[in-house]
A and B are shown apart, each in its own frame.
Chain A
Amino acid sequence: MTKEIVEVPVLSAAVRALGVPLSLVTRAAGLVFVSGMPPLDLLTGKLVKGDIEVQTEASLKALKHCLEAAGTSLDNVVMVRIYAVNAGFYNAINRVYARHFPENAPSRTFVPVASWPMEFDIEIECVAVA
């Protein structure tokens, strides 16, 4: 059994340009694994700035883009981990998140984190069925 690396338009190139040792998406044994996605612009590959709702929306759009590059979709997501710098924004994050997962929502963990050395406040990762 082997794993495949999925190339995601714009975003994979942005990661390579930063020299970060990760693949955005891997696929193996019928599952797709997506790295924690910060709020990235899908056209430019740059960080999206704004309040937590703007950032959450951008992270989820980037996640959707990665899943589609891997031939799957938000519907097939089974597990999500949200990493957030300020747990006080739980409700605001949920409001945006609920729009992207309106029914048969995946399992989920909300992880309050210290902070990244970069200008964003949220990352979202997931596992999906291929």
Chain B
Amino acid sequence: MKKQVIEVPVMSDKVRALGLPCSTAVKANGFVFISATPPVDMVTGEMVRGDIEVQTEASLKALKHCLEAAGTSLDNVVMVRIYAVNSGFYNAINRVYARYFSTNPPARSFVPVASWPMEFDIEIECVAVA
């Protein structure tokens, strides 16, 4: 198998419980690809509610958790895509994001999206070096 599906504690269970045809993290060719993470609590697997800063913090914590399960880290992230329902919160999102990527930040796209049929306002995906 050229690719390896990574089991991520709590997250992978949640995705399976929802019956989603998706792996939280996949490793291949020296890279780790993390599915977009909404603000999910890494202990309970429940959606974290709150303002955009609370949600951004939770998404980034979840992303960090996925990266570490895959044997890598935030430092090794090369590309991030932020998907946000309200681009008016650009500055608020950046304030939280900058705490997680303070030096040598990865390449990034900020994507304003329509909305998901679920109660959250942000998702963050990334690609990292394994």
Contact = CB atoms under 8 A, between A and B. Distances in A.
A29 B29 contact: yes
Interface in A114-130: 114, 127, 129
A111 B116 CA distance: 8
Interface of B: 1-3, 5, 19-26, 28-29, 31, 33-36, 81, 83, 111, 113-117, 123, 125, 127
Interface of A: 29-31, 76-79, 85, 87-88, 90, 94, 97-98, 101-102, 104-114, 127, 129
B114 A114 contact: yes
B28 A107 contact: no
Contact of A76 (B3, B21, B24, B33): B3
A76 B81 contact: no
B20 A94 contact: yes
Nearest to B36: A109
Nearest to B81: A109
Given A78-B31, A127-B33, 5 more contacts: A29-B29, A94-B21, A105-B22, A106-B3, A107-B125
A118 to B, nearest CB: 17
A112 B2 contact: no
A85 B111 CA distance: 14
A36 B2 CA distance: 23
Given A107-B23, A111-B83, A129 B33 contact: no
20 contacts: A31-B29, A31-B31, A78-B31, A78-B33, A79-B26, A79-B33, A79-B35, A79-B127, A88-B117, A94-B21, A105-B5, A107-B23, A107-B33, A107-B35, A107-B125, A108-B36, A109-B35, A113-B113, A129-B3, A129-B28
A87 B34 CA distance: 21
Contacts of A77: 3
Given A78-B3, A78-B33, A129-B3, A107 B22 contact: yes
Contacts of B113: 111-113
A82 B5 CA distance: 19
A102 B113 CA distance: 28
Contacts of B24: 107
